[in-house]
Amino acid sequence: MVKLNRCNKVAARSVLVTLFAVTGWASNPGAFATEAQTAGASVPGPASAAKSASPAKPLDSHTRQMLERIHTAMIEAEQRRVEAGRPDPAVPPELAEQWGVRVLSVTYTADGFWLDFRFRVIDPDKAAPLFDSRFKPYIESEQSGAKFAVPSAAKVGSLRTTNRGHNIKAGKIYTIMFANPGFHLKPGQKATVGIGDFKVEHLTVRGQLSQKIGQAE
């Protein structure tokens, strides 16, 4: 709840900045100083400049609705970010002790084309097998049994982190991107992720379908 309150405040500040930009109050931050210098007066600070500013013009209904939508979207985005950082309750506690990682989530993302698997490293030595390039990660639909791998892009290679540079750090969150052809796995369904001998089952795919089939908000 504290995090959500903080994100509400951040979103509110962002909307105020947008409001100033829309109304023209902050479109030229040096305007007050320029006018004062022209008149031969000393340059006022931000506080006195704000007091001397003329009242902002009332917002029309379209602009007000736009700002409300921006505010709502920013809060929802922050809520999704916080939710993605919460460990999946299906993960057994002993997994962290055995493998040195805390599994966070599998998220339906990029309009459903990708499945974003995230975990936080606790012990880099124990977690080393998850970054071994010899082991090929997969995600399996527990509903259909279909398995999907990590794609390999021409210029960037496999969409996962390996320990080639021996730079895996404790406390850092790492991501593995799985393909999701045909939007096969959808939010709410169960999935299993495997990397060599590492295996975690019954993960709930997070995300939310939009009105357009296959896409998540």
**pLDDT tens per residue, range 7-18:** 555 555 554 555
The token pair at 79 is 């809520």
Question: Identity (one letter) of the amino acid at 75?
Answer: I
Q: Please list the residues that pair with 209 across neighbouring strands.
A: 216
The bridge status of strand 198-206 relative to strand 101-109 is: parallel
- Residue 82 DSSP symbol: H
Q: What percent of the chain has pLDDT over 90?
A: 44
Tell me the whole-structure pTM to 2 decimals: 0.61
Give residue-wise pLDDT tens across range 38-61. Answer: 444 444 555 555 555 556 677 788
170 φψ region: left (φ > 0), alpha (ψ -120 to 50), beta (else): beta
Q: Lowest-confidence range among 11-15, 67-71, 124-128, 209-213?
A: 11-15
Cα(54)–Cα(25) distance, rounded to whole angstroms?
A: 9
- The answer on pLDDT for 90 being more than 60 is yes
Q: Which residue has the tokens 């599998």?
A: 106
Sheet holding 147-149, edge to edge: 147-149, 138-141, 190-195, 198-206, 101-109, 114-121, 173-179
Pairing of β 173-179 and β 101-109: unpaired
Phi-psi region of 151 (alpha: psi -120 to 50; beta: other; left: phi over 0): beta
34-50 burial: b if 16+ Cβ within 10 Å, else e: eebeeeeeeeeeeeebe
| Max avg pLDDT among 59-63, 86-90, 155-159, 183-187 | 183-187
Q: Can you read off the two tokens belonging to residue 163? A: 């320990």
Higher pLDDT, 162 or 2: 162
Q: Is 132 helix (H, G, I), strand (E, B) or coil?
A: coil
**Model pLDDT for residues 187-214, shown as the tens digit of each residue:** 999 999 999 999 999 999 999 876 555 5
Residues 202 and 89: their CA atoms lie apart, in Å, by: 9
CATH label, 94-206, candidates 2.10.25, 3.30.1180, 2.40.128, 2.60.40? 2.60.40
Nearest alpha-carbon partner for 126 in 193, 176, 198, 201: 198
Q: How many angstroms separate the CA atoms of 205 and 144, rounded?
A: 14
The residues spanned by each domain of the chain are: 2-84, 94-206
